[in-house]
Amino acid sequence: MSITAAQVKELRERTGAGMMECKKALVETGGDMDAALEHLRKSGLAKADKKAGRVAAEGAIVHASEGARAVLVEVNCETDFVAKDENFRKFAEEVAQLALQADDIEALRNMSMSGGESVEDTRQQLVAKIGENVQVRRMESLDAGDGAIGSYIHGGRIGVMVAVSGGDEELARDIAMHVAALNPGYRDAQDVPEEVLAKEREILIAQAKDSGKPADIIEKMVTGRLNKHLAEITLTGQPFVKDGDVTVGKLLKQKGASVVDYVRLEVGEGIEKEESDFASEVMQQARGG
């Protein structure tokens, strides 16, 4: 039977699939729109399964907030090019909005999107549409309680949320910018695990012993160096990124505030990326290899 342009257009609008894929699906199902839609869905699932093992270390960190609650969600893809794609961005932003109502990442994946299908089903369809592996990898949430939350997204690749008590959203956002830039490992010295301190102290003692100085002097050297190290790895000990003359801790004291908690996500953290030699690949192709 003859497939009309209007039928192809309708199927494209309902599925987001390519024109030729839509036409082929309609031909194979005798023009039955619902059957063609189901055919494309099954085809999309198959494509998504094939791409599931491919490394997806690019993507975006997306933020959403409502009242005292805020979330960060990491949605991954394979290339920076797709990370800027309108379909990918729209998907990621809607997922972030849904995350405001989710308890964890698994619950989020099972939630229904505006199209009526789950996040996971929509993700699989997106994989088929854009041709890359896409993953909803992580979500983090913060609740300000009686305080305030400030957030900062840097280039779509680094996202930070900071909850403060006794301060306002502007202060929290300034500290979020600081966390994005300097990535402190801990909030303050009290949050540093004892085993981390012990290991660092052991290293500093070994270094100081090579100086040949008396034990009491070595002890003072180690204490001084350990305090300096603590300042470097803790949020409150670091010089404030917008004013190096004060530490974050001093800034908070001036404002009568404290950091309750903070979260920092960066695209691709912990994902082992495949290293490729682009020049060698080009040479190989040029030689027909």
pLDDT tens digits, one per residue of 242-265: 999 999 999 999 999 999 999 999
Per the model's pLDDT, the better-predicted residue between 156 and 56 turns out to be 156
pLDDT at residue 275 above 80? no
- Cβ neighbours of residue 129 under 8 Å, at least 6 residues apart? 16, 17, 18, 44, 87
Is residue 69 in some structural domain? Answer: yes
pLDDT in tens, 153-202: 999 999 999 999 999 999 999 999 999 999 999 999 999 999 999 998 88
Instruction: Clarify whether residues 61 and 132 are in a common domain.
Output: yes
What residue numbers bound the domain in which 21 lies?
A: 5-51
Find the CATH number of the domain harbouring 28: 1.10.8.10
Specify the number of domains making up the chain.
3
Nearest residue to 125 via CA among 13, 9, 12, 17: 17
CA 226 to chain centre: 32
The two structure tokens encoding residue 57: 């270390």
Q: Which helix (H) or strand (E) holds 197?
A: helix 194-209
Per the model's pLDDT, the better-predicted residue between 44 and 154 turns out to be 154
pLDDT at residue 86 above 60? yes
Nearest residue to 99 via CA among 58, 66, 125, 144: 66
pLDDT at 75: 98
DSSP-derived 3-state class of residue 50 = helix
Q: Where are the beta strands (DSSP E) in 104-157?
A: 135-143, 148-154
Which of 85, 115, 143 marks a domain boundary?
143
- Distance, in Å, from the CA atom of 263 to the CA atom of 242, rounded to the nearest integer, reads 20
Find the CATH number of the domain harbouring 200: 1.10.286.20
Average pLDDT, the chain: 88
Residue 38's pLDDT band (cuts 50, 70, 90): confident
Out of 17-21, 147-151, 174-178, 238-242, which region has the weakest mean confidence (pLDDT)? Answer: 17-21
N residues, the chain: 289
For 16, 49, 251, the CA distances from 20, given in Å and listed in that order, are 12, 22, 60
Is the distance from CB of 221 to CB of 213 less than 8 angstroms?
yes
The two structure tokens encoding residue 51: 């791409």
Residue 46's pLDDT band (cuts 50, 70, 90): very low
